[in-house]
Amino acid sequence: MIIIGEKINTSRKTVADAVRNRNKQFILDLAKAQESAGANYIDVNVGTFISTEPEDMAWVAALVSGAVKIPLSVDSPNPKAVEAALGILKGHALINSISLEKERFSGIIPLVREFRCSVIGLLIEDGNLPVEADGKMKIADALIGKLGKEGIKPDSIFIDPMVQPLSTSMNGLTETFAFTQRFKSAFPDVHLICGLSNVSFGLPNRKLINRAFLASMMALGMDSAICDPLDKELMGLIAAQDALSGKDQFCMNFISLSRSGKI
């Protein structure tokens, strides 16, 4: 399971204050804690600072990349902000995100090619955000095909089915489960990802919903998630599900994480 740590996001007040005040230690501690907890990427999102996003993205990316050994997920629809980060990063990065929306695709794809990044693809095209599995498959097929024509290999693509909140769209989740099964059968080498907390928006006890949904999606083939690696119970569920699905030989990873107290 590929874990993308979600915590460095200026939609969170504490992070916004740290970026605004250039509080290096706060950002460094948050990045290191996520890496230590088992994250494979650190997501960096400063999108609430619209007028200064490229500058702020570059500052955070430089700070975090110098402190952790894992790559960054550069999270922005703004090509200038993405480029500002990629220009200073060392090694592999993930761009979050691209879609079939014409302006977004044309703005992001040159950066994917130039910096040889992996990329998250959202199942959106101009004026269309499908709920049904058929609609999601149609856009996924078109987006993967278009990325392939740009030289992006399947294992460098992460597809996000745009999970709807359970509180507003019960049918949406049923369709997402159906899509996931079909998708992994059709595109076994392409990653499937989601922003985990979206599913529980508006509900109490959100962590319970997040964990139950993640277990269900992992059983259907989802292999990555943008989530909170500091949630030890969530990380324990991921390790347990990997063991149950045969991805953790002799449960060695589960045993190691249990003994270390990380889950």
Mean pLDDT estimate for the chain:
96
* pLDDT above 90 (res 170): no
pLDDT value at position 67? 95
CB 3 within 8 A of CB 227: yes
pLDDT in tens, 209-250: 999 999 999 999 999 999 999 999 999 999 999 999 999 999
- From the list 8, 70, 98, 82, the residue with the least C-alpha distance to 44 is 8
CB 44 within 8 A of CB 96: no
* pLDDT above 80 (res 91): no
CB 187 within 8 A of CB 221: no
pLDDT value at position 90? 74
* Distance, CA of 109 to CA of 93 (rounded, Å): 14
Domains of the chain, earliest start first: 2-260 (3.20.20.20)
